[in-house]
Amino acid sequence: MEEIILAVDGGATKTALTLRKRDGTVLLDKLGESSNYQTSGADQVLAVLVHLLTEVKSALPTAQVDIAVFALAGIDSERDRTVVQTIVEEACLVAGLQVAKLIVENDAQAAMLGATGCQPGVSLISGTGSIAFAHDGKGDINRSGGWGHRAGDEGSGYWIGREALRAIFRMEDGRGAVTSLYRSVLEELSIETIEELADWLYGSAYSVDRVARLSIVVDRCAQQGDRVAIRILEQAAEELALLVASVIRKSNLEETECVVYLNGGAVMHSGRIRGKLEEIGETEFPQCRFVMASRSPLEYIVERGWQWSRNEG
């Protein structure tokens, strides 16, 4: 019987799942809620995965898949990996799904391995959060960033949205430049006054995801020439370049020709961020070629699973 792979890309915003045969035939594509246990909690992630995996089982000729790659955000330490592995195994058990080979990894790491084909290369993701991974082509993997919105995620959609909020309050106080972000952000949030914005910021309606979506507003204002918005996006690119530089040094790739794959909504939807990154890259990383990932992270996670199968086989 032809091999079947299950690939899961779980982030802070949503969980994407695909079930496929080796020849590429899609048996199931499904979307669910967040499966980052650090932001949603272990019980919520378990419920999300059980729901999705129950549908997977219904789409299978038997109750087994040959390879399952669960690439989930929030795996930032060995403790995290143990916690998430336990959640995934329990979800499979509750759903009645049998997995011959189970891979549980950080979502960005799995996507990087799939994108680079385990050759020297870098994956930079700037979505709700930000993180960079590099592979030296010899088996060593290095990471920078991904420390979450409270302490890091510089250059991410959340970081951009937060900087926009800071600029608005600075303008209100007379400590910062006048910016069209003020009115545009309030309109985006359906808020009329600065006092309501402060209430929202510390109220129950606040969420990391909603702040991250403000990055779209920042990009729109930048396209209209707002200098504060332009500077926020340029700073975001500079922060992302620091992530790239860090993993390149850690992986000793300074003199190695390689590709830096760019992925995630924040970098995907902002031509200004991409342009600034390429500008920095030409000067600081002449050995690297910055390219927008041609496929979604989920597609690279699928490839990660097939790579494992080929190498083990």
The series of mean pLDDT values per 10 residues for the chain, 313 residues long, is: 84 85 87 83 89 88 86 84 91 89 86 78 87 84 84 91 96 95 94 93 87 94 96 96 93 87 86 89 87 80 78 54
Q: Tell how strand 121-126 and strand 258-263 pair up.
A: parallel
Residue found under tokens 């272990």: 42
| Cα angle for residues 164, 177, 184 (degrees, 5° grid) | 40
Q: What is the pLDDT of residue 224?
A: 96
Question: Residue 121 pairs with which residues in a beta bridge?
Answer: 135, 259
Helix locations, 11-156, DSSP H: 37-40, 42-59, 78-95, 107-116
Q: Let me know: does 39 contact 158? Beta carbons within 8 Å.
A: no
- Burial code (b: 16+ CB inside 10 Å, e: under 16) for 106-122 equals bbbbbbbbbbbebebbb
| Cα angle for residues 16, 17, 18 (degrees, 5° grid) | 135
Report the side by side order of strands in the sheet with 64-72. 26-32, 15-21, 4-10, 64-72, 98-106
Name the phi and psi angles at 156, rounded to 5. Answer: -85, 175
Q: What is the pLDDT of residue 295?
A: 77
What is the three-class DSSP state of 147?
coil
Q: Let me know: does 160 contact 232? Beta carbons within 8 Å.
A: yes
Other C-beta atoms within 10 Å of 156: how many? 30
Task: Provide the residue type at 234 as one letter.
Answer: E
Averaged pLDDT score across all residues of the chain: 88
